[in-house]
């Protein structure tokens, strides 16, 4: 049985930052995540892409942000249960919780913070009969490591931001990039559309529209695809086929925990502490909903901060916590480290 003060479900940026804010209050955290590594969407979907709305960072790579968060919370020694999904929850008579994963790992926590982003993700797959056989054999639904495509022939299918952005990025990595879309128009950022147009004009991207991949060929792995294009069929030799048709978010087992859910999101009390309809269970970040909700990382950071204050007050009734700026109070890590500003020096100047 893993014991902790706050059990965080979801190791995305909001879940990771919760560890820091809880640590300032001397609360221990443990994190459960269904992915094999921390980072959530940032690690799984777009680790190489820049994020522009993190305060103090004009631009920061998604993977870099995760690395920084992991470094920031290291002093508070969080525990991790990775590659497992929180499946059941039981509230005990004393108000604490037992959360069990799909692999049977049990966690005993005084409070639960659901920070699962948009939930678990499943890619929207094209209706091609034998596509499952080629998954991880040339068919990829995510671009986790661009180096996998170094000097390869790539076919990307899709008409949104992901298809456009990865076509642009991989144009300098792959041997050949072909972008396929069933319409002539793309639904993406104008800047991305213009970049694809420029790369097409330079001969760095092959563009086929309106077109659609209808079949896949290959013996042990992908060797080529067949497209419907301009009323006929076109065969392309390629090493990888990347269909980017979006993702379907699902709450998963959390949907059966008796929480108040609205449109695949968990309703919370945003007027106070982001607590759900079950006392002691909170929901923060993209997974929650309330009037005026914005699904932004910086909003998740704010919600995590207020939530941790609520948990502290709940676990320490009657005990007054005086908020101090870290610039004044410093930070005492659970690992014995101490970080504080240099003391002022009183000295005359000659």
Tokens of 54: 């993190």
Indicate the pTM of the whole model: 0.72
Report the alpha-carbon distance of residue 275 to residue 288 in Å, rounded: 10
**Whole-number pLDDT of residue 326:** 86
**Whole-number pLDDT of residue 289:** 95
Tokens of 325: 């700026």
The interaxial angle of helices 13-24 and 62-73, nearest 10 deg, is 20
Whose tokens are 């041997």? That residue is 175
Report the alpha-carbon distance of residue 20 to residue 33 in Å, rounded: 18
The interaxial angle of helices 161-170 and 190-201, nearest 10 deg, is 40
Whether 55 contacts 74, CB under 8 Å: no
The interaxial angle of helices 13-24 and 297-315, nearest 10 deg, is 40
**Whole-number pLDDT of residue 111:** 98
**Whole-number pLDDT of residue 121:** 66
Whether 15 contacts 113, CB under 8 Å: yes
Neighbouring CB atoms inside 10 A of 330's CB total 12
Report the alpha-carbon distance of residue 247 to residue 45 in Å, rounded: 10
Cα R_g (the chain), whole angstroms? 24
Q: Quick one: 178 exposed, middle or buried, by C-beta within 10 A (0-12, 13-18, 19+)?
A: buried
Provide φ and ψ at 286, rounded to 5°: -65, -15
**Whole-number pLDDT of residue 350:** 73
pLDDT profile of the chain (350 residues), mean per 10:
97 97 97 89 76 93 94 97 93 97 96 86 85 94 87 95 90 96 87 92 95 94 94 94 84 92 92 95 96 94 96 91 80 90 75
Report the alpha-carbon distance of residue 66 to residue 77 in Å, rounded: 16
Tokens of 11: 């190791």
Report the alpha-carbon distance of residue 180 to residue 209 in Å, rounded: 6
Whether 176 contacts 149, CB under 8 Å: no
Whether 71 contacts 64, CB under 8 Å: no
- 16's CB contacts (< 8 A; 6+ apart) are 31, 38, 66, 69, 70, 72, 73
Q: Quick one: 324 exposed, middle or buried, by C-beta within 10 A (0-12, 13-18, 19+)?
A: exposed
- What does DSSP assign to residue 341? P
Q: Output the DSSP codes for 264-281.
A: TEEE-BTTTT-B-SSTTE
Tokens of 345: 């020096």
**Whole-number pLDDT of residue 319:** 85
Q: What sign for the dihedral angle of Cα 303, 308, 309, 310?
A: positive
- 159's CB contacts (< 8 A; 6+ apart) are 181, 182, 183, 185, 186, 187, 188
Q: Quick one: 344 exposed, middle or buried, by C-beta within 10 A (0-12, 13-18, 19+)?
A: exposed
């Amino acid at each position: 049985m893993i014991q902790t003060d706050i059990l965080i479900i979801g190791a995305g940026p909001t879940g990771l930052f919760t560890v820091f804010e809880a640590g300032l209050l001397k609360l221990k955290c443990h994190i459960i995540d269904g992915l094999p590594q921390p980072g959530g969407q940032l690690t799984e979907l777009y680790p190489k892409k820049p994020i522009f709305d993190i305060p103090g960072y004009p631009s920061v790579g998604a993977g870099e942000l995760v690395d920084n968060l992991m470094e920031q919370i290291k002093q508070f020694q969080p525990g991790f249960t990775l590659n497992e999904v929180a499946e059941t929850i039981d509230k005990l008579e004393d108000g604490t919780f037992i959360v069990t994963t799909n692999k049977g790992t049990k966690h005993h926590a005084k409070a639960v913070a659901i920070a699962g982003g948009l939930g678990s993700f499943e890619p929207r797959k094209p209706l091609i009969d034998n596509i499952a056989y080629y998954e991880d054999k040339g068919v990829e639904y995510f671009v986790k490591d661009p180096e996998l495509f170094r000097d390869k022939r790539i076919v990307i299918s899709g008409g949104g931001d992901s298809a456009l952005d990865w076509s642009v990025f991989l144009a300098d990595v792959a041997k050949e990039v072909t972008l396929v879309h069933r319409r002539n128009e793309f639904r993406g950022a104008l800047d991305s559309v213009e970049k694809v147009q420029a790369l097409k004009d330079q001969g760095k991207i092959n563009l086929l529209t309106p077109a659609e991949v209808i079949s896949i060929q290959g013996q042990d792995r992908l060797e080529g695809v067949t497209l419907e294009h301009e009323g006929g069929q076109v065969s392309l030799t390629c090493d990888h086929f990347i269909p980017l048709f979006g993702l379907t978010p699902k709450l998963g087992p959390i949907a059966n925990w008796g929480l108040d859910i609205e449109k695949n999101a968990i309703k919370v009390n945003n007027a106070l502490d982001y607590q759900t309809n079950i006392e002691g269970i909170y929901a923060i970040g993209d997974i929650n909903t309330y009037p005026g909700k914005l699904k932004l990382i910086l909003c998740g950071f704010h919600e995590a901060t207020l939530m941790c204050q609520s948990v502290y007050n709940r676990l320490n009734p009657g005990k007054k916590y005086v908020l101090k700026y870290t610039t004044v109070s410093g930070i005492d890590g659970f690992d014995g480290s101490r970080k504080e500003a240099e003391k002022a020096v009183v000295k005359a100047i000659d």
